[in-house]
């Protein structure tokens, strides 16, 4: 559920383009470095991108009678950080804007910021904090993915409230948009967190060496997780 074409007036659509652009440029630079130095991580990058493709195409019903879709960007954020995730988000958003009239070209900057940057940044920070604190890896991934999803819609509500404060002012407009977007998203965020947690478990089982190579898990943690699953 992205901001639709034409629904951000000047100067907001330009502002969000300018805010998102540096992340995309850094992301392309990091992507280039990843391809050159850690080629074995490329299949994992493809999986992270594919997840955004699958999850953001699923419009799921939520408890308040409207539909919204998960974002799937939490996985990319945890694995590769917010800048590379921004490039993955950009690809999906361009696909949806061009072929589906879902989102838009003029609102691309704002949508890349909420879905590709803010969500993955939250996921990345939660994952880093959780690993540092020694929390359970899967619980950390669950929280990271669920809150990445939720924060995307909170940021979308902020973006719309900034552009359309109306008579209620920013806070009043924010609560009106958040009631539509963020509240709808809560159950979807929980399901998304659970699914991505499961996918993370399979990556730990099948290809843990990539996770240690990306400095996401120490070898001792991988061993512990694999023994727990055996």
Partner 1 sequence: MKHGMEIAVAALIIVFAAVFLFQDAAIQASLGDGEEAWGGADGEAADLIEASGYEPWTEPFWAPPSGEIESLLFALQAAIGAVIIGYVFGYWQGSRKTA
Task: Select 6 or 22, whichever has its Cβ closest to partner 1.
Answer: 6
Query: In 3-state terms, what secondary structure has residue 61?
Result: strand
Task: Select 26 or 187, whichever has its Cβ closest to partner 1.
Answer: 187
| Count of residues that interact with partner 1, criterion CB under 8 A | 64
Per-residue DSSP letter, 113: I
Residue of the chain from 25, 35, 129, 198 that contacts partner 1 (CB under 8 A): 198
Q: Is residue 58 part of the contact set for partner 1 (CB under 8 A)? A: yes
Q: Is residue 130 part of the contact set for partner 1 (CB under 8 A)? A: no
Residue of the chain from 41, 52, 86, 155 that contacts partner 1 (CB under 8 A): 52
Neighbours of 11 (CB within 10 A): 10
Task: Select 133 or 230, whichever has its Cβ closest to partner 1.
Answer: 230
Q: Is residue 212 part of the contact set for partner 1 (CB under 8 A)? A: no
Task: Select 57 or 212, whichever has its Cβ closest to partner 1.
Answer: 57
Q: Is residue 112 part of the contact set for partner 1 (CB under 8 A)? A: no
φ and ψ at residue 60, rounded to 5 degrees: -105, 145
Shortest separation between residue 108's beta carbon and partner 1, angstroms? 12
Nearest to 17 by CA among 30, 29, 3: 3
Q: Is residue 38 part of the contact set for partner 1 (CB under 8 A)? A: no
Q: Confirm if 48 and 88 have CB atoms less than 8 A apart.
A: yes
- Applying CB under 8 A, the span of 15-23, 48-56, 122-130, 215-223 interacting with partner 1 comes to 48-56
d(CA 119, CA 149): 6
Residue of the chain from 24, 41, 44, 93 that contacts partner 1 (CB under 8 A): 44
Q: Confirm if 144 and 78 have CB atoms less than 8 A apart.
A: yes
Nearest to 88 by CA among 123, 132, 126, 60: 123
Nearest to 75 by CA among 94, 62, 97, 56: 56
Q: Is residue 57 part of the contact set for partner 1 (CB under 8 A)? A: yes
**Secondary element (H or E) of residue 191:** helix 182-206
Q: Write the binding mask 60 to 89 for partner 1: x where contact by CB under 8 A, - elsewhere.
A: -xxx-xxxx---------------------
Task: Select 18 or 98, whichever has its Cβ closest to partner 1.
Answer: 98
Report the chain's C-alpha Rg in angstroms: 18
Q: Is residue 190 part of the contact set for partner 1 (CB under 8 A)? A: yes
d(CA 135, CA 46): 27
């Amino acid at each position: 559920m992205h901001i639709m074409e034409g629904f951000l007036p000047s100067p907001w659509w330009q502002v969000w383009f300018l805010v998102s652009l540096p992340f995309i440029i850094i992301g392309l630079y990091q992507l280039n470095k990843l391809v050159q130095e850690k080629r074995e991580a490329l299949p994992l990058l493809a999986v992270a991108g594919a997840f955004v493709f699958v999850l953001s195409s699923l419009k799921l019903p939520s408890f308040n009678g409207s539909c919204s879709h998960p974002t799937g960007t939490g996985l990319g954020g945890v694995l590769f950080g917010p800048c590379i995730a921004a490039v993955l988000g950009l690809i999906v958003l361009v696909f949806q804007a061009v072929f589906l009239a879902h989102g838009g070209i003029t609102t691309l900057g704002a949508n890349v910021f909420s879905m590709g940057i803010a969500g993955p940044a939250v996921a990345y920070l939660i994952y880093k904090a959780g690993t540092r604190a020694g929390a359970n890896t899967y619980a950390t991934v669950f929280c990271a993915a669920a809150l990445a999803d939720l924060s995307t819609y909170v940021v979308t509500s902020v973006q719309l409230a900034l552009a359309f404060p109306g008579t209620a002012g920013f806070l009043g407009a924010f609560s009106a948009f958040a009631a539509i977007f963020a509240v709808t998203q809560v159950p979807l965020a929980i399901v998304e967190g659970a699914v991505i947690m499961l996918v993370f478990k399979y990556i730990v089982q099948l290809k843990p060496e990539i996770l240690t190579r990306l400095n996401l898990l120490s070898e001792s943690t991988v061993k512990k997780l694999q023994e727990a699953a055996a």
